[in-house]
Amino acid sequence: MDGERGKAILRELDQALDALDGYARTIDFARFTTERLAFDGVLHAMTLAGQCAIDLALMIIADRRFGTPPTYREAFDVLARNGVIPVELMNPLGEWASMRNVIIHLYTKLHLETLHEAYTTKTGVLRDFRALAAKLLAEPSPAPDAPPAGSSVREPRVRYRKTAAKPKKARR
Residues with Cβ within 8 Å of 23's Cβ and at least 6 positions away in sequence, in order, are 38, 41, 42, 45, 119
Stated as kind and residue range, the H or E segment containing 127 is helix 124-138
Does residue 148 fall inside a structural domain?
A: no
Does residue 162 fall inside a structural domain?
A: no
Cα Rg of the chain, angstroms: 21
Do 10 and 49 form a contact (C-beta atoms < 8 A)?
no
Report residue 110's pLDDT band, with 50, 70 and 90 as the boundaries. Answer: confident
This prediction's pTM: 0.80
Q: What is residue 139's predicted lDDT score, i.e. its pLDDT? A: 82
Does residue 163 fall inside a structural domain?
A: no
> Is it the case that residue 154 has pLDDT exceeding 70?
no
Does residue 28 fall inside a structural domain?
A: yes
Does residue 161 fall inside a structural domain?
A: no
Provide the domain limits for residue 49.
3-138
Q: What is residue 21's predicted lDDT score, i.e. its pLDDT? A: 97
Residues with Cβ within 8 Å of 140's Cβ and at least 6 positions away in sequence, in order, are none
pLDDT tens for 77-93 read 999 999 999 999 999 99
Higher pLDDT, 124 or 170: 124
Does residue 146 fall inside a structural domain?
A: no
Higher pLDDT, 166 or 100: 100
Does residue 107 fall inside a structural domain?
A: yes
> Is it the case that residue 70 has pLDDT exceeding 90?
yes
pLDDT tens for 22-39 read 999 999 999 999 999 999
Whole-angstrom Cα distance, residue 115 to residue 111?
Answer: 7
Q: What is residue 156's predicted lDDT score, i.e. its pLDDT? A: 40
> Is it the case that residue 149 has pLDDT exceeding 90?
no
Does residue 150 fall inside a structural domain?
A: no
Number of domains in the chain: 1
Please provide the average confidence, as pLDDT, over all residues in the chain.
86
CATH number at residue 86: 1.20.120.580
Count of C-beta atoms within a 10 Å radius of residue 138 = 11
